[in-house]
């Protein structure tokens, strides 16, 4: 029961790459008084009971009675302070997930929040809202908006409206260009809900990603890897080529569906845009131009007719970037079933990218980065 059940749920979905990549997603358990939410920096696949942060639900609810500043930086800082203040005694050293407020909005005992490619094929598509309404008439749809307090408050008003109109609490919430919340009162109920959603979506798919490996031009790949590693100051570079990548790197036009990030995860691990190189001879110059324009180095580089290169400060960093951009590609293919991709809005990309800088700065300030 309770905490052991949420540990089980976390392990089950956290170790399945269909649901969770690179430490993403979060879970919670609640009773009348307390919310137990996944702590920041823990991973669902391996979390233990003590990895959850015990919080006072009453204190969290009080956040909605307060008025916060309009300025987003000041507002988020104050909300975060109040959220930290809602931790129970003995939990001081832990840091609750940034999505804590969302978890507390549901009355259900168990909450699972994940960003699966299959679901994001809908949330990142042009027809996302229509498709959700048609396939899941009882689900809530929330438009892409600033993460943090604004997103939580948008979800709150939608959930309350649903409750007033139907007399019951919604148990499914889709977030545009982000992911999904599942809410249930038992593990069994949660599993049934998850499989209902996944099977319903699967039944709609006429086009699915084809990740069949394609033989690369080994000589060209090695040459590019060397040039990239040195242009990026000794970065680790990983190469991938499959049927989807082959089709995307035929030309800049073919590359268009994955030119912009689909969800915040893609920005966090792969930066706000990949680099497309038309002519392998110009890679060093293109990397320089990219870093002049963006103020950072690219993490994902597509070279025309060659394939995809994922770059990172070490093997793990490069592998994570690769995994996330493969996820981006999957989403772009799934979205073809729903009128094509709708990447994140430009202002949201900038917002998240800046937020990342801020959180990096704050870690530096705490001496953790």
Question: Interface residues with Zn ion (CB under 5 A)?
Answer: 179
Instruction: Check: CB of residue 236 under 8 Å from CB of residue 226.
Output: no
Which pairs with CB-CB distance under 8 Å and at least 24 residues apart come from 59-66? Answer: 59/85, 59/86, 60/35, 60/86, 60/100, 60/101, 60/104, 61/104, 62/86, 63/101, 64/153, 64/156
Cα distance between residue 311 and residue 122, in whole Å: 28
Q: Which of 36/181 has CB closer to Zn ion?
A: 181
Least Å from the CB of residue 67 to Zn ion: 26
**What is the closest distance, in whole angstroms, from the C-beta atom of residue 191 to Zn ion in the complex?**
20
Residue nearest to Zn ion (CB): 179
Question: Residue 51 or residue 179: which is nearer to Zn ion going by CB?
Answer: 179
| C-alpha triplet 44, 45, 48: angle, nearest 5° | 70
Nearer to Zn ion by Cβ, of 170 and 228: the residue is: 170
- 297/330 with CB nearer Zn ion: 330
CB of 98 to Zn ion, least distance (A): 8
Distances in Å between the Cα of 229 and the Cα atoms of 277, 294, 336 are 15, 19, 34
Alpha helices in 203-344 (DSSP H): 218-231, 243-248, 252-255, 264-270, 283-294, 315-334
Cα separation, 97 vs 358, whole angstroms: 17
Nearer to Zn ion, 179 or 343 (CB): 179
- For residues 20 and 306, which CB has a smaller minimum distance to Zn ion in the complex? 20
Q: Least separation, in Å, of the C-beta of 115 and Zn ion?
A: 6
What residue has token string 């059940």?
5
- CB of 114: closest distance to Zn ion in angstroms? 8
For the chain, the first-to-last Cα distance in angstroms comes to 37
What torsion do the CA atoms of 230, 232, 234, 238 make, to the nearest 10 degrees?
Answer: -100
List the structure tokens of 296: 């950072």
Q: Which is nearer to Zn ion, 96 or 179 (CB)?
A: 179
CB of 130 to Zn ion, least distance (A): 22
Taking the complex as a whole, the smallest distance from the CB of residue 169 to Zn ion amounts, in Å, to: 20
Report the nearest approach of Zn ion to the CB of residue 303 (Å): 32
Strand 275-277 with 300-303, pairing: parallel
CB of 167 to Zn ion, least distance (A): 28
Region of 23 (left: φ > 0; alpha: ψ -120 to 50; beta: rest) is left
Q: Which is nearer to Zn ion, 151 or 300 (CB)?
A: 151
Q: How far apart are CA 205 and CA 314, in angstroms?
A: 36
What is each CA distance from 163 to 138, 158, 173, 296, in whole angstroms?
11, 9, 13, 46
Tokens of residue 75, six digits: 């507002």
Residue among 99 and 286 whose Cβ is closer to Zn ion: 99
How would DSSP label each residue in 66-102? S---SSHHHHHHHHHHHHHHTBPTT-TT--B-TTHHH
């Amino acid at each position: 029961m309770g905490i052991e059940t949420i540990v089980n749920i976390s392990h089950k979905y956290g170790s399945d790459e269909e649901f969770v990549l690179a430490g993403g997603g979060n879970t919670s358990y609640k009773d009348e008084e307390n919310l137990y939410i996944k702590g920041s920096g823990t991973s669902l696949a391996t979390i233990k009971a003590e990895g959850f942060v015990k919080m006072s639900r009453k204190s969290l609810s009080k956040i909605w009675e307060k008025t916060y500043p309009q300025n987003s930086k000041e507002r988020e800082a104050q909300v975060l302070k109040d959220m930290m203040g809602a931790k129970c005694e003995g939990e001081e050293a832990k840091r609750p997930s940034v999505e804590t407020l969302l978890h507390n909005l549901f009355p259900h005992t168990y909450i699972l929040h994940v960003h699966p490619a299959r679901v994001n094929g809908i949330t990142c598509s042009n027809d996302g809202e229509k498709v959700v309404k048609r396939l899941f008439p009882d689900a809530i749809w929330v438009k892409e908006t600033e993460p943090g307090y604004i997103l939580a408050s948008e979800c709150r008003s939608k959930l309350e409206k649903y409750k007033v109109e139907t007399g019951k609490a919604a148990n499914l919430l889709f977030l545009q260009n982000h992911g999904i919340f599942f809410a249930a009162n038992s593990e069994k109920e949660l599993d049934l809900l998850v499989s209902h959603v996944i099977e319903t979506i699967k039944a709609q798919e006429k086009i699915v990603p084809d990740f069949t490996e394609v033989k690369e031009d080994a000589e060209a790949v090695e040459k590019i890897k060397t040039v990239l590693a040195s242009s990026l100051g000794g970065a680790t570079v990983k190469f991938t080529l499959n049927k989807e990548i082959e089709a995307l790197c035929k030309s800049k036009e073919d590359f268009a569906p994955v030119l912009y990030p689909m969800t915040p995860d893609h920005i966090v691990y792969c930066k706000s845009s990949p680099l497309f190189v038309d002519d392998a001879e110009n890679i060093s110059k293109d990397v320089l131009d990219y870093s002049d324009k963006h103020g950072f180095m690219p993490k994902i580089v597509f070279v025309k007719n060659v394939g995809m290169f994922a770059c990172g400060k070490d093997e793990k960093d490069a592998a994570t970037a690769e995994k996330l951009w493969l996820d981006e590609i999957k989403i772009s293919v799934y979205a073809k079933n729903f009128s094509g991709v709708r990447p994140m809005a430009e202002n949201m990309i900038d917002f998240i990218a800046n937020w990342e800088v801020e959180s990096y700065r704050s870690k530096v300030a705490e001496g953790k980065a």
